[in-house]
Structure 1
Amino acid sequence: MTVTNADRDAIAHGKITEKPLRERPKYPTWALKLTMAVTGLLFGFYVLVHMVGNMKVFMSPYADGSHPLNTYGEWLRTMGDPILPREGFLWLFRIVLLVAVVLHVYGAFALNKRASESRGKFRRTNLVGGLNSFSTRTMLITGIILLAFIIFHILDLTMGVTPAAAEVFQHGEIYANLIASFSRWWVAAFYIIAMVVLFFHLSHGIWLAVSDLGIVGKRWRAILLFVAYLVPAVVMIGNISIPLSVAFGWIG
């Protein structure tokens, strides 16, 4: 029967309540999930392209002594010239990423809050174990770790703010800054841990995006499930190879 007391204990004892568990949200859940899916895929594309660009660290210097990684960085700053001012494209892309980060973080906390309110004091138990279950349970935690890493990474290799950045940081000297930063063992360790965390977060995030975007075909889901693990694994291995190469003296 219907009861006036909307207590979850009443439901547990076989009673029914018509009172909603929470007020109607300002933004529907489907919109938040769609936003997180789109912004998550944008981040996945960005980290893949960023990793490919970072691989230039393994290339030999040019005849004039300049390093390909520095040349690549200069190319990014002048992209769109003369239509855009110097670093115009970079700032446009940074703004897009910043907006995407804000939307993604807001969606993550909002959905987590709604899920918690809907469950009340009755928590999920006896979940199936495995890698996917671990990623599911830790998505909010891994997301917070990655957000902290992004802030540190910007302070370190983009802005050159000490103590995040090395004392010898010089704007424009990307290769030298990277070597100097990863020569500090604690920075290299943090970077490696962050890349492992990124693998778990991104792999599960891509798979969630596949579902939230309504891709239900059996063949397509099988292909995209493979991609959901392949892309994060490539990004993780590629990025981790840089601090390890610095640590072992293979580059520097």
Structure 2
Amino acid sequence: MTVKNADRDAIVHGKITEKPLRERPSYPTWAIKLVMAVTGLIFGLYVLVHMVGNLKLYMPDHNGVAAINEYGEFLRTVGAPIFPRESIVWILRIVLLAALVLHVHGAFTLNARSRTSRGKFARTNLVGGLNSFSSRSMLITGIILLLFVIFHLLDLTMGVAPAATDTFVHGEIYANLIASFSRWWVAIFYILAMVVLFLHLSHGIWLAVSDLGITGRRWRKVLLVVAYLVPAIVMIGNIVMPLSIALGWLS
């Protein structure tokens, strides 16, 4: 084997080279994986709670006010009068935004380091199945979910056209959901995004289990079930809403 740019002094002393293969990164890979695991679990918990809250869409009105509208008002006033209106909501938003930035940065950093380490000797298709597909497509599904989050915020949180409808009204969650999901292309986009979320979240939870050092056989079996069960519940719960509105079951 021919060694290019070898350290001649090292060869004299019986070594090929003493130089590192690459520069030591400012942040170790294990730290980035740990941050991604923690932020990923934060998002997993958030989408689960968010889905449960959205199911209030099916609860009966209270004094003429839609249950999901009452839920939205509760979130805006939680902590009052000790804390100002919407302060807790904004704290949660800032935490989620920081977690999103760290998660996206970690994803692209790890992907770049992986490509650099493998070089031209990358091995592919060693393991088949859904888990292998999810692993290979984590970056792609993550980008799709990022675009979905942006659209979702413009559509149902900020009310910015053309993502949102012309009838959008802040605080009228029920009416906004009905108007938005009555557009078939939006309902289909949300449904497909939830399938992507299932693939990304299920594999992400399993990666987090490994990155957090959970190695016990029993714990890993339990958490493997959780890694697929929780994303499946979130996917089904979030698909039912746009589908029921698009089909005219709710109006």
- Taking the TM superposition and a 5 Å limit, the aligned residue runs for 1:58-69 are 58-62=58-62, 64-69=63-68
Q: Distance in 2 between matches of 1:237 and 1:16?
A: 57
Whether the 8 Å CA contact 1:39–1:101 is kept in 2: the answer is yes
**Number of residue-to-residue matches in the alignment:** 243
Q: Residue 53 of structure 2 aligns with which residue?
A: 53
Q: Residue 187 of structure 1 aligns with which residue?
A: 186
The percent identity for this pair of structures is: 75
Whether the 8 Å CA contact 1:77–1:89 is kept in 2: the answer is yes
Q: Residue 103 of structure 1 aligns with which residue?
A: 102
Q: Residue 32 of structure 1 aligns with which residue?
A: 32
Q: Residue 160 of structure 2 aligns with which residue?
A: 161
1:12-44 CA deviation, whole Å, 9 max, x = no partner?
A: xxx966543321111000100000000000000
Q: Distance in 1 between matches of 2:210 and 2:127?
A: 19
Q: Distance in 2 between matches of 1:60 and 1:115?
A: 51
1:208-237 CA deviation, whole Å, 9 max, x = no partner?
A: 000000000000000000000000000000
Q: Distance in 1 between matches of 2:175 and 2:223?
A: 38
Q: CA deviation at 1:173?
A: 0.1
Whether the 8 Å CA contact 1:3–1:17 is kept in 2: the answer is no
Whether the 8 Å CA contact 1:139–1:201 is kept in 2: the answer is yes
Q: Residue 245 of structure 2 aligns with which residue?
A: 246
RMSD: 1.6
Q: Distance in 2 between matches of 1:120 and 1:17?
A: 19
For residue 53 of structure 2, what is the amino acid of its counterpart? G
Q: Distance in 2 between matches of 1:241 and 1:44?
A: 19
Q: Distance in 2 between matches of 1:116 and 1:32?
A: 16
Q: CA deviation at 1:3?
A: 3.3
Q: Distance in 2 between matches of 1:70 and 1:22?
A: 55
Q: CA deviation at 1:125?
A: 2.3
Q: CA deviation at 1:239?
A: 0.3
Cα distance change of structure 1 residues 210 and 173 upon mapping to structure 2, 3 Å threshold:
same
Unaligned runs of 5+ in 1: 7-14
Cα distance change of structure 1 residues 17 and 193 upon mapping to structure 2, 3 Å threshold:
farther
1:88-123 CA deviation, whole Å, 9 max, x = no partner?
A: 000000000000000000000000000000011122
Q: Distance in 2 between matches of 1:102 and 1:191?
A: 23
For residue 57 of structure 1, what is the amino acid of its counterpart? L
Secondary structure in structure 1 of the residue aligned to 2:112: helix
Whether the 8 Å CA contact 1:5–1:17 is kept in 2: the answer is no
TM-score, structure 1 normalization: 0.93
Q: Distance in 2 between matches of 1:193 and 1:19?
A: 49
Whether the 8 Å CA contact 1:156–1:162 is kept in 2: the answer is yes
Q: Residue 75 of structure 1 aligns with which residue?
A: 74
